[in-house]
Amino acid sequence: MTATQDLTTQFRHGVLPQTTSDEFSRQEFVKSLKFHLASKVSLGNHDAYEARAKPAYTKATGAEPQTYAEIRKAMSEDPYFAFWSAMQRNSQEMMWKSVQIPVERQLPDLIAAAGKGAAAEGTLRLNPDLEIPKYHRGVDIHCMPGGYHTEFTADDVANGAVYDTAVYIYAMGRMGPLNSDIGDTTIAWIKENHPDFKPRRILDMGCTVGHSTLSYCDAFPDAEVYGIDVGAPVLRYAHARAQSMGKPVHFSQQNAESTDFEDGFFDLIVSHILVHETSNAAMRRIMKECNRLLTPGGLVVHAETPPYRDLPAYDAFMLDWDTRNNNEPYWGASHELVATEIAAETGFDPAKAFEAYQPSAFEATERRTKVFQGGDFGGGGAWWLWGVQK
Amino acid sequence: MAEHVTLQKKARGERPQYFADPAIDKTLAITLALAGEVAVLRDRIDTIERLAEAGVAPTRAAVDAYKPDSAVRAERDAWRDTYLDTVLRIIHQEREELEQRAADTKPYAAVIEEVVAGG
Ligand SMILES: C[S@@+](CC[C@H](N)C(=O)[O-])C[C@H]1O[C@@H](n2cnc3c(N)ncnc32)[C@H](O)[C@@H]1O
């Protein structure tokens, strides 16, 4: 990780949007609102469930709710849950608004800054003809207007800048000054479990602005690091951000389901919260592509929030909130994945599949709620990793 | 100066409706946005006071350029949390009541267990 003095604010790299004091205050309010909802309001849902939703459901059906889907049914009409949900949804929309204001104001400057380049030897390869997958065209995932791919002007970096700032607010700073906790945590797991692993080439699939990608440059200084994504604006921004921080990464605009790299080109393929934003079919095509791209002995690791089967049914219900309330259509289904099953279906040896938990690399103990729940991203203090060795 | 670019404001996809009357959804959205703007104003006053205390003229340029350090940010975080306790009073009131009721639904045996366990 790049040395920063202050662990309580976002690191100022070369293309981070500037904010006036009012703009910054508006973003800080959203961060506070999210933290207040997660730490002080959300827990009332559990009391509402115990005090009225569960008894009402049990009376009506003759049995207590067992699964998270049954709990959702029981809670669907609860007024406390509805009001919390409405506030949570608003906090999300207010977050995007609060970061769009400064990005809109200074977009030409950001585009100019992104074009300047700097010290590192990274590259950027865009493909204007790439077809954006259907699962990204239907709805704007997690309510980010325009998603990762929409371009609002020539050489656009807007939604890269929007995403970078918003993730810091969304995670309430608990992924660190570089928003790198998922990457750093995945790396910690790899180093603990494969201490002698020396990958020559590393691929980060669905890298967005490179929050996780850049950590691999420091963790494996002898490796070449590649990042792919389908969105051009986020990749332009990722490249500019990496260059300004002196991290050499090769970014290219490609669909992870079918890339132009040679067979066996990579020793390590990782993704960080990519899987839940794809689809059942796409996820399997991505794993088949990983199989093609890996050298024998190579490793693929995907980082996500825990599968529902590992959680008490009530917690799974709360974690599932995003599926219906935050434009995350594949969130629910992706939380049912079983690593051995996917491995078997995609040509890997299921005996070499794994599922694991790794505690968050970034220390933010005092602000962690230690629960996995909607609207509390990065609050759980651990990430779920799954994958397979070829 | 380069041409002003307008970003898309609405995320594609149907927005869930949380209340029977859609006007309530809108009113809540406006109320929360207003709560945010009050917090922005309060920070601005705080900035003016801090600049004045430091002997800096609180001009618009000085206020706009002010960057709170980590100590000031922590103070403001704490202020906002108390402010949200106040603004969201009605929610916290309901939460307390639900907490009470949820505790009452616990079987008496569970209460004994808790007491024995030292809770
Ligand atoms: C939540 S973001 C990932 C964040 C990032 N990995 C990090 O750790 O900060 C998901 C990203 O996956 C990308 N994506 C989704 N489907 C993809 C696909 N089939 N191929 C490549 N990228 C994809 C999206 O464009 C988006 O940028």
Q: What is the predicted ipTM?
A: 0.93
Q: Is A208 in the pocket of ligand 1 (CB under 6 A)?
A: yes
Indicate whether A352 pLDDT > 80: yes
Which domains does chain A possess? 10-390 (3.40.50.150)
DSSP state letters, A206-248: T-TTSTTHHHHHHHSTTSEEEEEES-HHHHHHHHHHHHHTT--
A166-198 per-position pLDDT tens digit: 999 999 999 999 999 999 999 999 999 999 999
- Rounded to whole angstroms, what are the CA distances from A65 to A18, A70, A372? 49, 5, 20
Q: Is residue B29 part of a domain?
A: yes
Q: Is residue B103 part of a domain?
A: no
Q: Is residue B48 part of a domain?
A: yes
pLDDT at A32: 97
Chain B nearest C-alpha distance from A372 (Å)? 20
Q: Is residue B110 part of a domain?
A: no
What torsion, rounded to 10 degrees, do the Cα atoms B26, B31, B36, B41 define?
Answer: 130
pLDDT band at A117 (very low <50, low <70, confident <90, very high): low
pLDDT mean across residues, chain A: 94
Q: Is A228 in the pocket of ligand 1 (CB under 6 A)?
A: yes
Q: Is residue B99 part of a domain?
A: no
Residue A260: strand, helix, or coil: coil
Best probe residue, ligand 1, of A126, A130, A163, A277 (max atoms within 8 Å of C-beta): A277
> Which chain A residue has the Cα nearest residue B35?
A29
Q: What is the mean pLDDT of residues B92-115?
A: 84
Q: Is A92 in the pocket of ligand 1 (CB under 6 A)?
A: no
Total domains in the fold of chain B: 1
> Which chain B residue has the Cα nearest residue A137?
B12
Q: Is residue B38 part of a domain?
A: yes
pTM: 0.95
